[in-house]
Chains A and B, each alone.
Chain A
Amino acid sequence: MIAGQRRRWLEYVYLLPYGTAFLMFVALPFVVSLALAFCQYDLTTERPPKFVGLRNFSEALSDPFFWKAVGVTFRYVAWIIPTQIVLCVLLALGMNAMVNGQRTVRALLFLPGMFSIAVTGILWQWFYNQEFGLFNYLLKIIRIPAIPWLSSEQIAMPSIVLMTLWWTVGGSAAVVLTGLQQIPSQINEAAAIDGANPWQRFWQITLPMLKPVLLFMVVMNTIGAFQMFAQATLLTAGGPKQATRGVVQLIYDTAFGDYRLGYGAAISWLLFLLIAGFSLIQFRLIRKVAD
């Protein structure tokens, strides 16, 4: 009895460091931001927060800048998720088929993901620099006119997506590769004996068996993509003409540029609802597939 009580007490002691950090940096901000979302709180005045009900939410829903940011975020998600999934499946299939050097290629692909986003952003700023950048230099060699990678409304978003792919695709490909390696080889061998060609084996065996992994990745990457911030901040600062300013950057600009914490919190809760809605749909999809 005494030993059991001590063990229980110890469990709480072990939980204490993480629990404290969780309470301070997750639970508390969560509650405070929810409370703030219903208040007017302007840091540039000396007044405390004032309860305003749903006003911040209704203002956001009628704010053209909010809807523009939502549109940009969806555009980013629509670009990044399919390209990321297709690319990492292709890379994983390629690596899986390799007899030699698979580990080296996997490590090389994984390497960019080890850079912090700040390093990646600064590096790619130079790649994209219109005058001195690597890409336009290479284009010049083959006599193709310079591309305004970051200053064109049409090209800026694909440029951000390209950088994000370089940064993240290695990690995703490694996950898919692990999924591929979990597929029993006997199934493919049996199909081959039955006369299935590689294309048929991919569609009928590999892809269905990869579905749980791919759906998990779609969910996690979609959640991440909705929170796109650092890439656009570092490369374009949301420009040109706010064509790359997503919702998180709008939240940042509102809360820490305009110091309207209440309104910023309301937008962040709207984003939370958006992500939660999408995640719910995707999780249901996963459950259906798993069943």
Chain B
Amino acid sequence: MSAKTSLLLLFLFVVTLGVLRCDRTAALTGKEVVQLSFWNGFTGPDGRVMLEMIRQFNRENPDVQVTMQRIAWATYYNKLMVSALDGRGPEVYVLQAAQLPRMDRAGLLADLTDVYDETLRADISPRMVARMNFGTPDRERLLGLPLDAYPHGMYVNVDMLRAVGSVNPDGTVHPPENREEFFKVAEAAMKLPDVDGAKIWGWGFGDWSYNFFTLVPQFGGQYVDADGVPTLDHPGNVAALQFLVDLHQKYKIAPPPQGGIGGWVGFRQKRVAMAFDGVYMLGDLKRLNDEQPDPQRKLNYIGVPIPQIGPKKGTYADSHALCVRSGLSDAETAAAKRFIRFLSDQSLAWAGAGQVPARKSVRESETFKSMQVQYAFSQQMDDILFPPRTPSYNQLAINIALAVESAIRGPTSAADALKKANEDYKRYLERDRMEQALYGHSDHVDATRSHGRGGAK
């Protein structure tokens, strides 16, 4: 074959590919199909549920085609931020609500206030709506639509509860509801016979930071005061962290944080009776049991609210917010808003993936009530302490993580660790404030801005 023939064939091949690549749906229907890219971090079983929801949307909306990109949360924000800044980012994406202020500061979020009709406003708690609002007292600017909340609760091994005699008169198990019952069950579980030579523990450390966040509201802790000044060394926070430290050091109901079995792994292996974790971990337990062919060896568990260990009830949660990138064309924005509204309306299906829907009507449905863990965790919705709203949330979380680690590993005391975290975080905020001043704009919320980067296509 001569070089000329080869080049001609190559040219024809490229042209053919180009023709095939062209959107033929538009030609067939006579309408232009809006393509939306949707990014999220649902890389677990929840991603499969989301994919099914998207397929349904695509079937019901032939003029819009959504494609989903799942990226592990560990690198998700990095990729999202860099691509969005360059105008190559997805049209629709999921943000953990704590990340909203930062993305707003970068000017990457479209105003979704008009998505909130009367139905939505009646169905989503004002607290959750307020977390989406970056406007002024007289003008709302809602930058996300909350799809769910993911409160942390307690997973309990039912067989161990029975073994230690924590049973109601009607024969059902009685999970711990307060401090006294929590310790009673944990201490009794410690006395259960070893499994395959391994010791049984009453409770186990999960993600240390999240364990801390979970306990903070119970001890009346807070991260910033009403004026936005950091209070990481608040006495309530110190008490919560001290309690966490004491679970191993003083009460000896938890495996050593360094060198001992992890709480979640231990719970899966039936070596830990109780573990605090998020509702999203349900998918992991379901998969564990699905992969176990022997019914006798399946993990027998339930989810319950966090027992009231401190002076009041409380737990940690954040929520997944559906967001639309700023600077899209009108057609894209309209399609994106229709898509996120669809996902919100379908949040019962989403609950099946191991989430607590933001929509009250869904939480009150009989189908949702039959979802044991999700429903039990949702009972804490009124006692949730959400993460603070600040563009510097990542720095706050890093400083807290270091403090919690220092205290749990020792020898730093809880008070000293949190004091240092507070000083470091204050220093960071001060530097951030100075940098923003250099730019000539005081940060946090610039309510007048309606468009961000990446001009309209």
Contacts and interface: CB of A to CB of B under 8 A. Distances in A.
Bound pair: A and B?
Answer: yes
A234 to B, nearest CB: 11
7 contacts: A40-B439, A42-B439, A45-B436, A47-B439, A50-B438, A240-B258, A242-B402
Given A44-B106, A44-B391, A46-B107, A153 B435 contact: no
A59 B438 CA distance: 15
B59 interface: no
Interface residues of B, number: 30
A289 to B, nearest CB: 45
Contacts of A130: 259, 261-262
B436 A46 contact: no
Given A241-B402, A257-B394, A259-B81, A44 B105 contact: yes
Contact of A241 (B391, B406, B453): B406
Interface in A210-248: 239-242
Given A59-B431, A146-B259, 10 more contacts: A40-B435, A43-B82, A43-B106, A46-B453, A152-B258, A239-B405, A241-B402, A256-B82, A257-B78, A258-B394
Given A44-B81, A46-B452, A151-B258, A131 B265 contact: yes
Interface of A: 40, 42-47, 50, 52, 59, 130-131, 145-148, 151-153, 239-242, 256-259
For the residues of B in contact with A, the DSSP-based class is: helix
A256 B259 CA distance: 32
A135 to B, nearest CB: 14
Contacts of A239: 405
Contacts of B443: 45
B419 interface: no
A178 B265 CA distance: 48
A52 B438 contact: yes
A85 B105 CA distance: 50
What are the 10 tightest A-B residue pairs by CB atom distance, in nearest-first order? A44-B106, A148-B259, A47-B439, A46-B107, A44-B105, A241-B405, A256-B78, A148-B258, A40-B435, A44-B102
A151 B405 CA distance: 11
A256 B395 CA distance: 13
Interface string B421-438: 000000000010001101
Contacts of B431: 59
A148 B262 CA distance: 12
A242 to B, nearest CB: 7
Nearest to B78: A256
A79 B436 CA distance: 41
A215 to B, nearest CB: 39
Interface string B242-265: 000000000000000011011001
Q: Find the residue from A40, A146, A153, A259 having the highest chain B CB count within 10 A.
A: A259
Interface string B159-174: 0000000000000000
B312 interface: no
